[in-house]
Amino acid sequence: MRIGELAARTGVSVRSLRYYEQQGLLASIRTPGGQRQYVERDVERVHFIQGLYAANLSSRTIAELMPCAESPSEHNSDAALERMARERERITEQIGDLLRARDTLDRMVVVARAHRESLLDAAPAADGSAAAQDSTPHSAVPACV
């Protein structure tokens, strides 16, 4: 298939596909006229690349891992194993960062809502929601920073 179709089927821009090739992530054979020709398998390959990009692996790193993913051999697996371990650690760390940030956001939401409640408290609530037993102390909203 030609590059346009691969782009359409993977949701990746034509520009990016050419870039992947330039970075050694994706190979293609050329027609006599010079146009790139892809095979079915390349669809998965692009998805694979995208999955790694989604975890902020650089194209450089992905390129280093690709040969190992494709056809493992003693030649590549050795260096690649160490890199995988390093990336795995980085990913785990980043998951921690994200969880912490999400918690922070959640705390901020609570504070903002509490503040809104304390405003609404001036006028009695009109709906039947569980506004009773609201233990939030008025004007003692904790800061998030």
Contacting positions for a second copy (CB under 8 A)? 41, 44-45, 48, 51-52, 54-55, 57, 65-66, 68-74, 77, 80-81, 84-85, 87-88, 91-92, 94-95, 97-102, 104-106, 108-109, 111-113, 115-116, 119, 141, 143-145
Least distance between DNA and beta carbon 2 (Å): 3
In the three-class reduction of DSSP (H, G, I as helix; E, B as strand; rest coil), residue 59 is classed as helix
Phi, psi of 130 (to 5 degrees): -75, 60
DSSP 31-56: -TTS-EE--THHHHHHHHHHHHHTTT
CA distance 57 to 63: 10
Residue 3 in contact with DNA, rule: CB under 7 A: yes
Q: Could you give the count of Cα atoms lying within 13 Å of 126 in the half-sphere of its Cβ?
A: 0
Of these, 26, 36, 46, 66, which contacts DNA (CB under 7 A)?
A: 36
Three-state SS for 80-106 is HHHHHHHHHHHHHHHHHHHHHHHHHHH
Of these, 9, 24, 43, 59, which contacts DNA (CB under 7 A)?
A: 59
Of these, 29, 32, 71, 139, which contacts DNA (CB under 7 A)?
A: 32
Binds 134: which of a second copy, DNA, none (CB < 5-8 Å by kind): none
Residue 16 in contact with DNA, rule: CB under 7 A: yes
DSSP-derived letter for residue 73 is: -
Least distance between DNA and beta carbon 71 (Å): 23
Contact residues toward DNA (CB under 7 A) are: 2-5, 7, 12-16, 18-20, 23, 28, 31-36, 53, 58-60
